[in-house]
Amino acid sequence: MASRLTGRTATGTRPPSGTPAEVLLDDGTPVMVKRGDGPGAVRAEVAGLRWLGAAGAVRVPAVLGHDEHWMVTERVPTGSPGPGAALRFGQDLAALHKAGAPHFGAAPPGGPEDAWIGLAPMRNAPGTDWPLWYAEHRVLPYVREAVDRGTLRPAEAGVFERVCARLPEVAGPAEPPARLHGDLWNGNVLWGADGEVRLIDPAAHGGHRETDLAMLHLFGCPHLDRVLAGYQEAAPLADGWRDRIPLHQLFPLLVHAVLFGRGYAEQALTAARETLAR
């Protein structure tokens, strides 16, 4: 697969099976080979990586070849997270967000509207009003899916509906669409051996910058205090942003509830109730 997509001879694979897999090219260069998880997933990921990389902010692995089902990227040698790299990452993440997007829900150029976040479908439908867009395309679709799967009880859906009704008053000051990674948990943050962070596996779209930061809080990030210090230095967040973290965590928590079950549904309910209590 790597040979066909890169035009180079592959000489070995580590591990020998599975995806993503590390493959050695004929000159000893290691690359990563990955299969897409659903229709359009590779196109969405490739477009997302290129869109994030075009901002000239946080680095991403170069895409070396792809088709509809497979992609090949450069392999990033990794090292240990450090406070200096974390500070720079925060500054670079702020620059990525400031690169912007045409509208909320904007798909990366060349990327499909029907995209993915992990194994869950994610629709990139355009919107100009963030509270309305967030409710329609990042909260309620996953509430409905979780109810259909039996992960959420029908009566519990009303908690999220009440949050959506109150979004205009709890969303904070209006902000322009940011260029989001979209699935920014620690597993998608590679701490390079050269001291530079790379981002992988994006669910890139136009959204609210606090959503990326809320996901870093949700799943943990080494030296998060330094990441936030760098971010605030480069692009200060609006007052009250910490109080809005549970609101922005609804999206990833509901996605995880759909994919992984009741434990995440209960976390999403807690975040929704914290938002309503403001």
Q: What positions carry a catalytic annotation?
A: 183
What residues contact residue 17 under an 8 Å CB cut-off, 6+ apart? none
Cβ pair 33, 70 in contact under 8 A? yes
Beta-bridge mates of residue 65? 72
- Tokens (6 digits) for 80: 């240990």
Q: In the chain, which ranges are E strands?
A: 10-14, 21-25, 30-35, 63-66, 70-74, 114-117, 120-123, 178-180, 189-191, 197-199, 205-207
Beta-bridge mates of residue 127? 104
R_g (Cα) of the chain, nearest Å: 19
Nearest Cα residue to 90 out of 245, 255, 264, 222: 222
- Tokens (6 digits) for 28: 């000893």
End-to-end, the C-alpha distance of the chain in Å comes to 52
What is the spatial distance between Cα 170 and Cα 275, in angstroms, rounded to a whole number?
A: 8
